[in-house]
Chains A and B, each alone.
Chain A
Amino acid sequence: MGLSMFLCVFALAGIPSWAMAIESLLPKDLPEGWGLIEGPRLYTKKSLFEHIDGQAELYFKYGYQKSVFAIYQHREKPEHQIEMDIYDMGSVLQAFGIFSRFRTGDRPGGIGLDSYFDDHSILFYKGRYFVMLYATEPYPSTMKELVLLVSSRILDPSPSPKEIRFFPTKGLKPGSIQYFSEGLLGHRFLKRGFQGTYIEDEEVKAEINVENQTKVDAKGKGGGEQKEFNLFLAIFKDTENTKKALKAYKDYLIKRGRVQAQTPPRFGANTLRGEDPYKGKVLVVQRGFYLIGIAGFEKEKPAEDSLAEMIKNVN
């Protein structure tokens, strides 16, 4: 059916093309050899617990609106089934948020705004929708066909959250950016925001050692465990609240970690440098209603450079 016809019907009805009944997003023409055996079952805020028990709480934290669930079955092998959930999370930010909490690293499949594929499951988000597919047996082509059908029916044109692009790409662990609707970095006072994981660059490590006129760490080149650190972006409603959160972090470090009086001059005032008992070294800068920070790094200069780049991207 022409997609244009589909769009046209909605346009004539005066309804935004993407604001359609969630069950209509389920594929109608199924891959050959497969049939619908259960559903569509619709869930709301009130009934989601019946479907996924206590995990519904996590969806509520991300603005869950409603969802639909269906099970497809292989006609010749009835024990081979594919379960599909489509969640309306209310906005692209929330859809990304829940997607980012469920994916495990980066195995993109080119579906939606971002996706994750493995042998048994596919996750993707597009617009305000988060879609999750689980197959009892690996059926990569069937699974992909199903999600392509769903994706083609999601007409929400929203782009991915702009904050994702604030994160510098150098050293970024693919698929590691997450959005937390609360408790960023495990702290109540940091509230909501984004976090990305970075691999400390081996070459950078070596350069730093040379700069410091110390012996280059042989383990650093290829051997040893890769050191990870995090860049983060906490978002507040205004500058005043952002400054309060920075103070709360400072108070926490005074109580449980260490605060260093000297901060790198290039970041100006409202900068916090110290040692977090669970994150290691931290450097946090307030810019408008953002706290932009780096945690768990070893070497100062590359960490400061990454932070500076992120601040530049934010500005």
Chain B
Amino acid sequence: MKGIATALLGITTPHVLKVSSSSGKTNKSPALEHRILGKTGLKVTTVGMGVMNCSDPAVLQRAFDLGINFYDTADCYMRGNNEEMVGKVFQGKRDKVFIQTKVHDHDEKRMRQSVERSLRRLKTDYIDVLVWHDLHRSEEVSDERLFGFMTKMKKEGKARFTGFSAHSHMASLLRAASTLPYHEVALVSYNFTYSKDLKEAIAQASKAGIGIVAMKTQAGGYKKGKMEGLSPHQAALKYVINDQNVAIAVPGVTTIEQIDECAAVMGITISRGDLNQLKGYQAFLKGRSCTLCGGCTGECPYGIPYGNYLRAVMYHAGYQNDELAKETLEAARTSQTIEQCADCPSCSITCRRGLDIKAQIKMARHIFT
């Protein structure tokens, strides 16, 4: 059991018992931890910043002051306002940071315009990592048009390195990319809720020299059930960067307090006691988080949209958005009420990730009735 839990956490025991834990408090600068981003050779901090939803330059400045050197943005975030902010904050500091931005699949003229707009907004003449945004199918990974365009961007000096991003079918995309010389970086969703299959695909891609950048690392984020040493956010992030095949995690951050919390994860080595807590936290999350993968749909004989119950719990516990949770529950109204559903003796629904669905439905009932 211990072995299984350790494997799930992505931690090898000799690795984690070096020093006693940090409290995770952030009054002092964090101990920076660096890794090499695959064959790019870039030396990146293991915690970067997903700038996507951030609109306040102070948060970026704080991240920079903390020593974080990798920033993920995109051409489309807030119609380019996000890139503008990154460009403004890092003007005069360009050589001290790595910037990753994205381009969407269009004809070459539009893609070129997009990259040139990004360069103008970012106030730079090069992008460190240019990512083809949101691939879905394995064939796209070997698309020669994609490769041709990215090669041109590199030859023209507009991008130093290139890669792709994916939000779904990540394992198959990574495996396909591992067999090709095209991609230097892959930006993929990865957190404690994902399967062993993805973990193995990440390892394969990493061994092939693809620098793995992990996003969606907090799985929606859980603010409750705080652990003694690490906060739940930190534990989720620590899970990701403990996987040595991940070069860097880019948690989405919108406040100074969040970036402090994330940065503090770097350099934390875990005592045996902390490790036990982390395992406990994983168990806590494992029982409570639904990734809405849809793998359990259609197994209720009464046709109860229990997925809405699971989502409502996630909105309540993860996003702390009770309004959204209530709306979701209202949309789930059927002849069988949530009370009946929670106590239904015929429930045969199972989750392939081990989520206790019955407990979730009971939690939804407890919270909202």
Residues of A within 8 A of B (CB): 45-46, 49, 52-55, 57-58, 60-61, 63, 79, 101-104, 121, 123, 132, 136, 178, 180, 182-183, 185-189, 255, 276, 278-279
Whether B27 lies near A255 (C-beta < 8 A) is yes
- Distance of A101 Cα from B84 Cα, bound (Å): 12
Instruction: Give the distance to chain B from A260, nearest Cβ to Cβ, in Å.
Output: 20
Given contacts A53-B133, A54-B215, A102-B78, whether A183 and B254 have CB atoms under 8 Å apart is yes
Question: Which residues of chain A are near B258, meaning CB under 8 Å?
Answer: 188
Whether A54 lies near B58 (C-beta < 8 A) is no
Question: Which residues of chain B are near A185, meaning CB under 8 Å?
Answer: 56, 58
Q: For chain B residues 232-269, which have a beta carbon within 8 Å of chain A?
A: 252, 254-258
Given contacts A53-B133, A54-B216, A186-B256, whether A60 and B319 have CB atoms under 8 Å apart is yes
Question: Which residues of chain A are near B62, meaning CB under 8 Å?
Answer: 186, 278
In the complex, which of the residues A104, A136, A189, A276 contacts B79, with contact meaning CB atoms closer than 8 Å? A104
Whether A189 lies near B81 (C-beta < 8 A) is no
Interface residues on B, range: 35 or more
Residues 311-329 of B, flagged 1 when their CB comes within 8 A of A and 0 if not, give: 1000000010101100010
- Distance of A176 Cα from B328 Cα, bound (Å): 34
Whether B107 lies near A79 (C-beta < 8 A) is yes
- Distance of A132 Cα from B80 Cα, bound (Å): 14
B77 at interface, CB cutoff 8 A: yes
Question: Which residues of chain B are near A49, meaning CB under 8 Å?
Answer: 167
Given contacts A255-B27, A278-B62, whether A54 and B167 have CB atoms under 8 Å apart is yes
- Distance of A57 Cα from B257 Cα, bound (Å): 19
User: Which residue on B lies nearest to A105, using beta carbons?
Assistant: B81
Instruction: Give the distance to chain B from A247, nearest Cβ to Cβ, in Å.
Output: 15
Residues 49-73 of B, flagged 1 when their CB comes within 8 A of A and 0 if not, give: 0001111111101100000000000
Whether B79 lies near A278 (C-beta < 8 A) is no
Given contacts A79-B107, A102-B81, A188-B255, whether A57 and B52 have CB atoms under 8 Å apart is yes
Given contacts A54-B52, A185-B56, whether A60 and B324 have CB atoms under 8 Å apart is yes
- Distance of A104 Cα from B54 Cα, bound (Å): 15
Whether A186 lies near B254 (C-beta < 8 A) is yes
Whether A55 lies near B56 (C-beta < 8 A) is no
User: Which residue on B lies nearest to A295, using beta carbons?
Assistant: B58
In the complex, which of the residues B78, B84, B110, B256 contacts A58, with contact meaning CB atoms closer than 8 Å? B78
B32 at interface, CB cutoff 8 A: no
Given A183-B56, A278-B256, 16 extra CB contacts under 8 A: A45-B324, A49-B167, A54-B167, A54-B215, A54-B216, A102-B79, A102-B81, A103-B79, A104-B80, A182-B254, A185-B58, A186-B256, A187-B255, A187-B257, A188-B257, A278-B57
Given contacts A57-B252, A186-B255, whether A104 and B84 have CB atoms under 8 Å apart is yes
Question: Which residues of chain B are near A132, meaning CB under 8 Å?
Answer: 79
In the complex, which of the residues A61, A136, A188 contacts B110, with contact meaning CB atoms closer than 8 Å? A136
Q: For chain B residues 292-348, which have a beta carbon within 8 Å of chain A?
A: 292, 311, 319, 321, 323-324, 328
In the complex, which of the residues B55, B76, B80, B292 contacts A52, with contact meaning CB atoms closer than 8 Å? B76
Instruction: Give the distance to chain B from A64, nearest Cβ to Cβ, in Å.
Output: 9
- Distance of A183 Cα from B328 Cα, bound (Å): 25
Question: Which residues of chain B are near A187, meaning CB under 8 Å?
Answer: 255-257
Question: Which residues of chain B are near A186, meaning CB under 8 Å?
Answer: 54, 56-59, 62, 254-256
- Distance of A205 Cα from B57 Cα, bound (Å): 25
User: Which residue on A lies nearest to B77, using beta carbons?
Assistant: A55
B33 at interface, CB cutoff 8 A: no
Question: Which residues of chain A are near B254, meaning CB under 8 Å?
Answer: 182-183, 186
Given contacts A187-B255, A187-B256, whether A53 and B167 have CB atoms under 8 Å apart is yes
Question: Which residues of chain B are near A53, meaning CB under 8 Å?
Answer: 133-134, 167
Question: Which residues of chain B are near A57, meaning CB under 8 Å?
Answer: 52-53, 252
User: Which residue on A lies nearest to B258, using beta carbons?
Assistant: A188
Question: Which residues of chain B are near A255, meaning CB under 8 Å?
Answer: 27
- Distance of A183 Cα from B252 Cα, bound (Å): 13
Instruction: Give the distance to chain A from B104, nearest Cβ to Cβ, in Å.
Output: 9
Complex A-B: 5 CB contacts under 8 Å: A79-B107, A101-B78, A182-B254, A188-B255, A278-B57
Smallest CB-CB A-B distances: 10 pairs: A186-B56, A278-B58, A183-B254, A186-B58, A183-B255, A188-B257, A188-B255, A186-B59, A102-B79, A53-B134
Whether A61 lies near B53 (C-beta < 8 A) is yes
Whether B79 lies near A121 (C-beta < 8 A) is yes
Q: For chain B residues 205-250, which have a beta carbon within 8 Å of chain A?
A: 215-216
User: Which residue on A lies nearest to B59, using beta carbons?
Assistant: A186
Residue picked from B54, B62, B257, B328, most chain A C-beta under 10 Å: B257
User: Which residue on B lies nearest to A123, using beta carbons?
Assistant: B79
Question: Which residues of chain A are near B216, meaning CB under 8 Å?
Answer: 54
Question: Which residues of chain A are near B324, meaning CB under 8 Å?
Answer: 45, 60, 63
- Distance of A276 Cα from B80 Cα, bound (Å): 27
Instruction: Give the distance to chain A from B190, nearest Cβ to Cβ, in Å.
Output: 13
Instruction: Give the distance to chain A from B152, nearest Cβ to Cβ, in Å.
Output: 20
Question: Which residues of chain B are near A189, meaning CB under 8 Å?
Answer: 257
Residues 132-144 of B, flagged 1 when their CB comes within 8 A of A and 0 if not, give: 0110000000000
- Distance of A104 Cα from B87 Cα, bound (Å): 15
Whether B107 lies near A104 (C-beta < 8 A) is no
Whether B52 lies near A55 (C-beta < 8 A) is yes
Residue picked from B57, B255, B324, most chain A C-beta under 10 Å: B255
- Distance of A63 Cα from B324 Cα, bound (Å): 8
Instruction: Give the distance to chain B from A124, nearest Cβ to Cβ, in Å.
Output: 13
User: Which residue on B lies nearest to A49, using beta carbons?
Assistant: B167
- Distance of A12 Cα from B328 Cα, bound (Å): 30
- Distance of A45 Cα from B76 Cα, bound (Å): 19
Question: Which residues of chain B are near A182, meaning CB under 8 Å?
Answer: 254-255
- Distance of A278 Cα from B61 Cα, bound (Å): 7
Question: Which residues of chain A are near B58, meaning CB under 8 Å?
Answer: 185-186, 276, 278-279
User: Which residue on A lies nearest to B261, using beta carbons?
Assistant: A188
Instruction: Give the distance to chain B from A46, nearest Cβ to Cβ, in Å.
Output: 8
Question: Which residues of chain A are near B27, meaning CB under 8 Å?
Answer: 255
Whether B55 lies near A101 (C-beta < 8 A) is yes
